[in-house]
Each structure stands twice: as structure tokens, then as C-alpha cells.
Structure 1
Amino acid sequence: MSGPPSLQDLITAVNQVAGNFSAAESRACFRDPVIIVSAPRAGSTLLFELMSQAKGLWTVGGESHPVFMTQPHLRAENASFDSGRLTKAHAEGETAHKIRAGFLTLLVDRDRKRYMTMEPSARPSAFRFLEKTPRNALNIPFLCEVFPDARFIFLHRDPRENIASIMEAWTAGRQGGFVTFPGLSGWKRGDWCLLLPPGWRELNDASIAEIAA
């Protein structure tokens, strides 16, 4: 694939990769993955960009939203959209394998060389994988099931600065590209930005500052 694939093309590619690797093989590829966990707007993008330049680290080139979009049942905790959290129960065997296949499909090294376009004999059989997506903060049990050997980096920012930045994201909304659940049913403001935490409905009458905190 050259350039961002369409969702349907990505789903097709993921299914093909999943068929070429067994679940055990896809699990063995990811050696001690490094997963960055933080609140939104905490500086994880900068940390990710710096770390991704290290020799031997592989990434999907950015955040992993496209990987999860290939599995529609993982968009939220359940059909009622009670939160964006994913638990160990969401990572049943086939789903975990498909998520790893999704990462393999988009995997690139620091020079943007794609893992899946390399000759099989030239691919490293196991590699160090770096992942950063804000939603990881809600999905640690899920990620531990998909990547049993994962190592986590917990990044935090001064709370006042972090909350102020989250407020800016909410104010920018669609114009800033921060809407994650457009037209969320049960949400008076219509669009939800950034992470969808458990108990979000209780924030219907809250201020932007209270939502951000």
C-alpha cells in the first residue's frame, strides 16, 4: 500500500495478513512492545516522534485509530456506548490476532520501510514495537491481553496545563479535528471530543473545565 489506504482496502489487507500468520506467530513477532499511556494533550505525540527515530523500533507511523477501525465492535465498550474502554474480555483470540495483524499491516521502521512489503526472508522475525494512541489509557487490560509482554510508559503533564489544553481541544471541536464521537446519542452538546470515559452521561450539565478535568 502506498499512502493511506481506504478503510475497506485496509480491512482486506488485515484479513490477508491474519490469514498468513497464525495467532502464535503474530504474537511472537512483537517482542516486549512499548506502549505510551497518557491523558490526551499530555505530550505523548512528541515523545512518540522522538522515540520512533530510535534504531530497531517499529511503529504504524502515528496513532493506531485505523487499526481499531478495522474491527467495528471495538469502537466502544458496548453497543450502548457506555465508554470507549476495552477490557480483557474484548481481546478474545480472533480479535487479538486481527489487531496484531492490523499493526503488522501498517508497520514501518524509522525510515518508513513497510514490514509487509519486505521479502519474508528479510523481515525480522521479532521486533520492538512502539505504540501511542490516547485511547490506550482506557484499554490497558485489553492491550495486556493482545501483547502479554508489553512494557508501559506512563507520561504525565502538569495538571493545570493538561486540563487547559484539553479545554482548547473541546473548544476547537470539529474544526480542530478533536471530535471522536460525532452526534453522540444522549449527549446534549452533540459531539464528543477525545476519550469517552465511563460515566460520561453524568457530565451532560458540566462545564468544559469539569469535562476536561
Structure 2
Amino acid sequence: MLKQPIFIVGHPRSGTSLVRSLIERSEHVWSIGREGKPIWERDSLHPGRRGWHSNALDASDATPEVAARLNADLLAAARKPGAEWSVADKLDFLDFLSAQGLRPHYYDVPLKALQERFPGDLPEGPPTTRDGGELDEITPFCFPSRGERPTEAELASGIRLVEKSIQSCFRIPFLRALYPDAKFVFVVRDPRTSIGSLMDAWLNPRMFFSYQVPVPLRIQGYSDVFPWGKEWWNLSLPPGWQDWVDLRLAEVCARNWLTHNRAVLDAARELAPTGDSVLVRYEDVQADPVSTMEAVAEAVDLPFSDAWGRRDLPVVMTQTTPDPDKWLRHASEIRPVLPLVRELAEEAGYVGL
């Protein structure tokens, strides 16, 4: 069974993968090692089965049948966090997958290393099922955990699972109904770097495709740039997304930041009196991972690990080295949309935008 699962919640490109990787250094946790979309959105929980409204779920969606299925799937996927994959390990594994006919260029490996191992033209466009439909998992595809499965005895006494999915911002009532003893780690990030990173994700020709939506997209700077830009939505599907389909890409990304973080800050405020949550800023994780993780460990009831006394940070879900100034590549597009997010940014501690 699951006990006190730890849900890491934040908007796409906010640093949730980094925080998850740091928590996974604890010997007391288990992980599914990747985004949970294939588990959470099976069958009736997929937005396509819910009128394409959004990723939002509430407590009424946590039926006994749904709870039993999700619990079984999460336990089946649980592994001990294994040693982090090196680039060489990843490439060797992709050699094996490539021999089976899969395209390695959709996996999270530095592009230069991929091109050196797999020369030739790079594929472009969303990876799809055989009939051209949406895959369960969002690219960049992750590498499976190499850790051990829990034993029957460990399952019987209960395991602590760390889970991170970008759609969780809109599912806090649902998750709390499923797991009343859950702990939450909320992550926020400067809107300028977030919007820039979101734009990079939308403009990536191989990654971050999530939903083949039935609503025509006319997003300037995306739909008029790529042939798939008229039907493929990227990353999570927030409430209100259908009102954004005629906007410029920078404004779509700004409204993404605003909608996700409004949900995050509201949930963090609601849960603060319970002691079941902690709110962290990505920039604090980068600047002082030791102190930040000490606060996280206390909030989620984990012993502070020696592994968190290290200042080194894993690099996750990125094709290039993290750089707080990367957003400046899109500065002329981002600066005009900052007034949309300024009030909430100040609430989150980001002033002077």
C-alpha cells in the first residue's frame, strides 16, 4: 500500500523534475521515475473523455474504482530510485531501442551526443501511435528507473512514493481525496525564465507534445510555423486553454504560468495550516540546495539525508545547460506580456518585473 505519498506540484518547466530527483536521493522513498501521465490519464480520466475541458479533477472524480486502479498502477510502477543514467548509459540503451525500430531522437539526451551516435537527418513532429494518434507519455521520453521493486513485505507495511506530474496543479482536491495523508511540495519559478522555457518547449520540433486536440489552433508563432502546430497542444492542458487558441505564443505561455501558479499558490495557502505542504522557489533550490532540501525534508516527514548535503544538482529534462538568462532570447516577446503575470508574480515573491 501507499502511505504518505509525496506529490511534487508545479507548472511545466518550473523545476519539478529537479526537485523530484533531489527527493529521490533519500533512501526512504520510492519512485515511478517519470511523468505519471500514462497512469493518471488512462480511460475516463483522459481530458479527451471529459469534453477536452482541461487536466482538472476534483474530489468527486476519486471514485472507489478509480482509486483502486490508480493505487494498483502506482504500486506496480514503483521502484527504488536507481543510479542516475550517464549520457553514455543512455546512448547504449538507445542503441538497443533503435535496433528494435524506435527513434532515439525523442529521448532526453543532449542533442549533440544524440547526433554523434545517431547521425543523419533528425525527425521532426510529434511521435505518434501507429495510427497517428496521441501517445500515453509526453516526450522527452524518460529512462526507466533501474532500482528494485518493493518486496511483498515492504508493500504490506507501506511505501512512500514520490510522484511528479505537471497536470497535478489542477488536481489537488482529487489527490487529497485519494490520499488524505499525502504531502505536497509546491514549486514556483520566476515568470520570465518560465515563459522563456515554455516557449522553447513549444518550439521544440521533437519534444513536449501532449494532446492532439479537436479545436483548431491558430497560435501565432507556433501554428503558423509548424505543420503540426494547428492540432498539437504542448505540455499540460489548463482550464481556459480553448480561449487562448488565437493568441501569440508568448501570451499563451504567460497565461499558462498565470493559471498554473494561481492554482499552486491557492493550494499552498490552503494546505499551509495542515503542515502537509511546503512551497519552494526554483531559484532557492539552485542557490542553496542544502537548506532548501532541509526544509522540504522536514515538511514531508523525511529524515534529512546525507545525500542532500551535497551542492551538486542533477541536470534533468533539458537539452542545454540551465541558464537564468536564456529567456532573453525571447525578451522582445516576453516583456510585453509580463503585465499579465506581475500581480501574481509579486505574490510569489518575484518583484521588479
Instruction: Give the AA of the match of 2:171.
Output: N
1:33 aligns with 2:65: no
Shift in CA distance, 127/190, structure 1 to aligned 2, threshold 3 Å: same
- Deviations 1:113-158 (CA, angstroms, capped at 9, x unpaired): 012xx3x245451122211111111111111111111111111111
Aligned pairs for 1:4-153 (under 5 A) are 29-69=1-41, 71-76=42-47, 78-111=49-82, 112-115=147-150, 118=151, 120-121=152-153, 123=155, 125-153=157-185
Aligned length: 178
Give the counterpart of 2:194 among 154, 157, 162. Answer: 162
Alpha-carbon distance in structure 1 between the residues aligned to 2:180 and 2:210: 28
Instruction: Judge which range, 122-131 or 58-67, deviates more.
Output: 122-131
**Partner of 1:109: helix, strand, or coil?**
coil
Name 1:187's counterpart in structure 2.
216
TM-score (normalised: structure 1):
0.78
| Long gaps (5+) in structure 1 | 1-28
Shift of 1:68: 2.2
**Partner of 1:176: helix, strand, or coil?**
coil
**Partner of 1:181: helix, strand, or coil?**
strand
Does the CA-based 8 Å contact 1:76-1:86 persist in structure 2? no
Name 2:208's counterpart in structure 1.
178
Shift of 1:90: 1.3
Alpha-carbon distance in structure 1 between the residues aligned to 2:4 and 2:248: 41
Shift of 1:77: 7.5
Shift in CA distance, 123/100, structure 1 to aligned 2, threshold 3 Å: closer
Which structure 1 residue ranges, 4+ long, deviate > 6 Å from structure 2? none
| Long gaps (5+) in structure 2 | 83-146, 218-229, 255-353
- Deviations 1:43-72 (CA, angstroms, capped at 9, x unpaired): 111111111121110111221122124x31
Shift of 1:187: 2.9
Name 2:242's counterpart in structure 1.
201
Shift of 1:105: 0.5
**Partner of 1:37: helix, strand, or coil?**
strand
Does the CA-based 8 Å contact 1:96-1:145 persist in structure 2? no
Shift in CA distance, 124/93, structure 1 to aligned 2, threshold 3 Å: closer
Instruction: Give the AA of the match of 2:15.
Output: G
Instruction: Give the AA of the match of 2:232.
Output: D
Instruction: Give the AA of the match of 2:149.
Output: R
Instruction: Give the AA of the match of 1:30.
Output: L
Name the larger-Rg structure: 2
Shift in CA distance, 181/127, structure 1 to aligned 2, threshold 3 Å: same
- Deviations 1:180-209 (CA, angstroms, capped at 9, x unpaired): 112x11132211011111111111210111
Shift in CA distance, 149/48, structure 1 to aligned 2, threshold 3 Å: same
Alignment RMSD, CA only?
1.6
Alpha-carbon distance in structure 1 between the residues aligned to 2:17 and 2:44: 26
**Partner of 1:35: helix, strand, or coil?**
strand
Identity of aligned residues (%): 31
Does the CA-based 8 Å contact 2:2-2:75 persist in structure 1? no
- Deviations 1:52-98 (CA, angstroms, capped at 9, x unpaired): 121110111221122124x3111117531111211112111110111
